[in-house]
């Protein structure tokens, strides 16, 4: 059987065979040897040398594409190669015979053009040997394929020349055609040799891991893999890449099918059993079961994952394979991490991984322990010390992927503890890092989960708001800031679909803003009970703050105090500094309503610094607005001169608060600040400033809906 002049029998029995494309590469090598050093500049020769390796290792490409690559490196040589191939294709069969006879002269002489053991020398020897083994009929078919290859290349060259003469719009169509040609080059080239197949698989696997956008599309890649497997069904590595490719599109059936075929081929071909006997056979079986468990876990099939994991554990115990057992122990934690005693299993896993010298598993275990203890409210310095120990393992063993995960973990921890500046620094550091792995073609590790997490944190940090949920939450916040509660209410449905707890909380916030206090209270109480059961501490504190706000807006500030104290205790217990600061703000406001503004100001001095340092812009404005309210309330008993100074200071703080609210376009709060400023300017006798603030208030009050809440009586 023969296609494109290539014999398909015993596909990977030999290292290489002759194709029309490889004849063209041989012509290039021959012309490079014949061209004197003076005819080709040093820069051009360096470019040609860099071009050779991908030409020798990569899949066959069209002749027009080969001409283009050579021309980019050395136009003069590209013309010589084109003429030489044309003479051979338009000549006779004896010209091809003579060409291969002349190739052997490259190794003759005391100073040969090519060394036999060099990369180029090995390629030439493989081609000469493969050609010499062809029968006359096979040589004739190869020559016919060369003629067809040349004709197709000439036709494509003419088409490209015609397209170059078209206008800009036509040029865009040419670019689209070039892309499609690149994707079809591999499939049009016929079967790959063993070296080409291995290079193709390793290249695509690296791209899938590090930069999926530069890999072939799932459909194109699967087409190439099917072509490989058609000629060699026992090519195990092709089955494994097919497994990875099917994971991209979440095809559970095809990915499972490919994974099982991969391990079947390892056993059938004796890839492990030849050196290890029965041990190699058993090793394939237990790692097959382990990988199957990981696959089911990824797709959420936890029961099937447990069954596969039990099988892997059983075989590993029979073989006394401690490394495999350690991997199984790690997956046991993943499957059972919702259990209360899961941390015991995790600690045992880390100790065993260190004992057996498995830094990758040990580091992953430490990362999981840190995450678990962060949710338990452990101090940040202890967590960072633990991550520092894992970082030592990463740098010692060059585990670049885990370095990225560690930085992403630090970003999340700083976010959890309300340190947005530190979180921003960690996220930016991760995104600006270069991969430690040497990747070809300028590929960077920029599509990993760690980078995605860092980008999501940056999105939330920049707007105080991972993708669809963030977008819905941002739109909700903007609608609430603009006083468009009907629009915010319409967004609740989308938020609920993505996160039920968050959706219920936002619904209660809307009801509260619309003065539907009874409905909001019922919803918040149900949500509070549910979150306490789940131990969702952050949401519990947020709900408590909303309940407290509901009480004081209902003229019951005394009832709000114990609720706020409970929220403050939880914030401090779990070291959630940002929520603690927000709780202190609410406590200060409650004290202001109760008529003790001096104590409110004392509390504000405790909370204002972390809010101004790490808080959202809206919260900074709220804090400054509250400070001015407390200043005005405290100045009631002052003498006239001191009172005037206090009111002036309050006006300055109101101006700063208005600037913060303007940055987030929170017109409802700008309206409240303008009203308050107008009152203060009136008290100070500043008529012009009062009139300006009153005009701004009136314009906003006409634009925004009013829901019956006194303008000054909410935080």
> Do the Cβ atoms of 563 and 544 come closer than 8 Å?
yes
Tell whether the model's pLDDT for residue 42 goes beyond 70: yes
Q: Any idea of the CA torsion for 312, 317, 323, 326, to the nearest 10 degrees?
A: 70
- Mean pLDDT (whole number) for 142-150: 88
> Residues 6 or more apart from 313 whose CB is under 8 A from it?
325, 328
Structure tokens at 528: 């509070």
Of the candidates 460, 454, 458, 447, the one whose C-alpha atom is nearest the C-alpha of residue 409 is 454
d(CA 631, CA 653): 10
More confident residue, 185 or 21: 21
Q: Please report which helix (H) or strand (E) contains residue 7, including its range.
A: strand 6-7
Q: Please report which helix (H) or strand (E) contains residue 548, including its range.
A: helix 537-553
Per DSSP, helices labelled H in 417-466 are 420-432, 449-463
Helices 63-73 and 136-164 cross at an angle (nearest 10°) of 60
Structure tokens at 367: 């990362």
Structure tokens at 82: 């084109």
d(CA 174, CA 194): 33
416 phi-psi bin (left φ>0, alpha ψ -120 to 50, beta other) = alpha
Q: Please report which helix (H) or strand (E) contains residue 671, including its range.
A: helix 667-684
Tell whether the model's pLDDT for residue 286 goes beyond 60: yes
Of the candidates 101, 108, 31, 116, the one whose C-alpha atom is nearest the C-alpha of residue 66 is 31
For the ranges 29-43, 218-232, 413-427, which has the lowest average pLDDT?
A: 29-43
| Collapsed DSSP state (helix, strand, coil) of residue 706 | coil
pLDDT digits (tens, 9 = 90+) for 66-78: 888 888 888 888 8
d(CA 87, CA 40): 23
Burial class (CB in 10 A: 0-12, 13-18, 19+), 662: middle
The distance from CA 360 to its chain's CA centroid, rounded to whole angstroms, is 20
pLDDT digits (tens, 9 = 90+) for 328-361: 888 888 887 666 667 788 888 888 888 888 888 8
Q: How far is the first Cα of the chain from the last one, in angstroms, to the nearest whole number?
A: 82
Residue ranges with strand state E in 382-529: none
**pTM (predicted TM-score):** 0.56
CA distances from 287 to 125, 300, 312, 422 (A): 40, 20, 7, 41
> Do the Cβ atoms of 610 and 452 come closer than 8 Å?
no
d(CA 332, CA 487): 46
More confident residue, 508 or 12: 508
> Residues 6 or more apart from 663 whose CB is under 8 A from it?
617
d(CA 69, CA 121): 22
Structure tokens at 176: 């689209």
pLDDT digits (tens, 9 = 90+) for 183-242: 444 444 456 677 778 888 888 888 888 778 888 899 999 998 988 888 788 888 889 899
Structure tokens at 150: 């040349």
Task: Write down the pLDDT at residue 99.
Answer: 87
16 phi-psi bin (left φ>0, alpha ψ -120 to 50, beta other) = beta
d(CA 261, CA 11): 19
Of the candidates 672, 648, 676, 647, the one whose C-alpha atom is nearest the C-alpha of residue 661 is 672
Task: Write down the pLDDT at residue 15.
Answer: 53
Residue labelled with tokens 């122990």: 329
pLDDT digits (tens, 9 = 90+) for 641-689: 999 999 999 999 999 999 999 998 888 899 999 999 999 999 999 999 9
Provide the 8-state DSSP code for 299: T
Q: Binning pLDDT at 50, 70 and 90, where does residue 110 land?
A: low
Task: Write down the pLDDT at residue 517.
Answer: 93
- Mean pLDDT (whole number) for 284-290: 85
CA distances from 104 to 83, 400, 448, 644 (A): 22, 46, 49, 102
> Do the Cβ atoms of 565 and 591 come closer than 8 Å?
no
Instruction: Tell me the longest C-alpha to C-alpha distance in the chain.
Output: 116
Structure tokens at 405: 């995960």
> Residues 6 or more apart from 708 whose CB is under 8 A from it?
515
CA distances from 381 to 370, 374, 591 (A): 11, 11, 34
For 607-617, letters b (16+ CB in 10 Å) and e give: bbebbeebbbb
Phi/psi for 6 (5° steps) reads -115, 130
- Mean pLDDT (whole number) for 95-116: 77
pLDDT digits (tens, 9 = 90+) for 536-570: 999 999 999 999 999 988 888 899 999 999 999 99
Of the candidates 121, 133, 114, 95, the one whose C-alpha atom is nearest the C-alpha of residue 18 is 133
d(CA 366, CA 346): 8
- Mean pLDDT (whole number) for 124-134: 87
d(CA 492, CA 472): 8
Q: Please report which helix (H) or strand (E) contains residue 324, including its range.
A: helix 322-336
Task: Write down the pLDDT at residue 61.
Answer: 84
pLDDT digits (tens, 9 = 90+) for 295-337: 998 888 889 999 999 999 998 888 888 888 888 888 888 887 6
Q: Binning pLDDT at 50, 70 and 90, where does residue 55 land?
A: confident
Of the candidates 447, 465, 378, the one whose C-alpha atom is nearest the C-alpha of residue 413 is 378
| Collapsed DSSP state (helix, strand, coil) of residue 419 | coil
Sign of the alpha-carbon dihedral angle for 232, 238, 240, 246: negative
pLDDT digits (tens, 9 = 90+) for 369-390: 888 888 888 888 888 888 888 8
Phi/psi for 94 (5° steps) reads -65, -25
Tell whether the model's pLDDT for residue 443 goes beyond 60: no
| Collapsed DSSP state (helix, strand, coil) of residue 5 | coil
In percent, how much of the chain has pLDDT > 90? 26
More confident residue, 613 or 154: 613
**Beta bridge pairs of residue 7:** 2
């Amino acid at each position: 059987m023969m296609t494109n002049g290539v014999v398909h029998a015993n596909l990977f029995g030999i290292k290489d065979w002759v194709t029309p494309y490889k004849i063209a590469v041989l012509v290039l090598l021959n012309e490079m040897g014949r061209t004197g050093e003076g005819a080709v500049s040093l820069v051009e020769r360096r470019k040609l040398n860099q071009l050779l390796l991908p030409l020798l290792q990569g899949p066959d490409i069209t002749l027009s594409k080969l001409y283009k690559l050579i021309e980019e490196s050395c136009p003069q040589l590209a013309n010589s190669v084109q003429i030489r191939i044309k003479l051979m294709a338009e000549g006779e069969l004896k010209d091809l015979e003579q060409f291969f006879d002349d190739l052997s002269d490259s190794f003759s002489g005391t100073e040969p053009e090519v060394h036999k053991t060099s990369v180029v020398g090995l390629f030439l020897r493989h081609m000469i040997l493969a050609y010499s083994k062809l029968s006359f009929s096979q040589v004739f078919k190869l020559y016919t394929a060369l003629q067809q290859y040349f004709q197709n290349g000439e036709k494509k060259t003419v088409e490209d020349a015609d397209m170059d003469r078209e206008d800009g719009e036509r040029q865009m169509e040419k670019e689209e055609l070039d892309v499609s040609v690149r994707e079809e080059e591999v499939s049009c080239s016929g079967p790959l040799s063993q070296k080409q197949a291995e290079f193709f698989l390793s290249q695509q696997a690296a791209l899938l891991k590090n930069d999926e956008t530069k890999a072939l599309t799932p459909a194109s890649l699967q087409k190439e893999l099917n072509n490989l497997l058609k000629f060699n069904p026992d090519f195990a590595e092709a089955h494994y890449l097919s497994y990875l490719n099917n994971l991209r599109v979440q095809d559970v059936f095809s990915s499972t099918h490919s994974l099982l075929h991969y391990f079947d081929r390892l056993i059938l071909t004796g890839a492990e059993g030849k050196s290890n006997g029965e041990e190699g056979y058993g090793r394939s079986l237990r790692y097959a079961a382990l990988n199957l468990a990981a696959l089911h876990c990824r797709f959420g099939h936890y029961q099937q994952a447990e069954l596969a994991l039990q099988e892997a554990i059983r075989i590993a115990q029979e073989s006394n394979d401690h490394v495999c057992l350690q991997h199984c122990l790690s997956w046991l934690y993943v499957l059972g991490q919702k259990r209360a005693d899961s941390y015991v299993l995790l600690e045992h896993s880390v100790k065993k991984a260190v004992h057996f010298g498995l830094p990758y598993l040990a580091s992953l275990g430490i990362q999981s322990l840190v995450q678990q203890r962060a949710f338990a409210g452990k101090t940040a310095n202890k967590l960072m010390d633990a991550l520092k120990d894992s970082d030592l393992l990463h740098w010692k063993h060059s585990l670049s992927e885990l370095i990225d995960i560690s930085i992403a973990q630090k970003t999340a921890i700083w976010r959890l503890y309300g340190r947005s500046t530190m979180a921003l620094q960690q996220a930016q550091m991760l995104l600006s890092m270069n991969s430690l792995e040497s990747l070809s073609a300028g590929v960077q590790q920029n599509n990993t989960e760690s980078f995605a997490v860092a980008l999501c944190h940056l999105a939330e940090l920049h707007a105080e708001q991972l993708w669809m949920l963030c977008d819905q939450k941002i739109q909700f916040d903007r609608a609430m800031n603009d006083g468009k509660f009907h629009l915010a209410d319409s967004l609740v449905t989308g938020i609920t679909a993505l996160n039920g707890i968050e959706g219920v909380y936002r619904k209660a916030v809307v009801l509260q803003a619309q003065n539907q206090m009874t409905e909001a209270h019922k919803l918040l109480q149900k949500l509070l009970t549910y979150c306490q059961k789940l131990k969702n501490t952050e949401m519990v504190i947020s709900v408590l703050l909303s309940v407290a706000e509901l009480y004081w807006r209902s003229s019951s500030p005394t009832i709000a105090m114990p609720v706020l104290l409970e929220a403050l205790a939880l914030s401090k217990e779990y070291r959630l500094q940002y929520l603690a600061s927000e709780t202190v703000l609410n406590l200060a406001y409650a004290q202001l309503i109760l008529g003790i503004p001096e104590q409110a100001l004392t509390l504000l001095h405790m909370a204002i610094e972390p809010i101004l340092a790490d808080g959202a812009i809206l919260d900074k404005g709220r804090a400054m607005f509250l400070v001015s309210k407390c200043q005005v309330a405290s100045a009631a008993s002052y003498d006239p001169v001191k009172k005037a100074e206090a009111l002036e200071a309050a006006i300055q703080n109101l101006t700063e608060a208005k600037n913060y609210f303007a940055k987030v376009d929170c017109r409802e709060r700008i309206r409240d600040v303008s009203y308050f400023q107008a009152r203060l300017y009136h008290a100070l006798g500043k008529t012009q400033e009062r009139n300006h603030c009153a005009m701004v208030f009136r314009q906003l009050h006409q634009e925004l809906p009013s829901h019956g809440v006194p303008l000054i009586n909410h935080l």
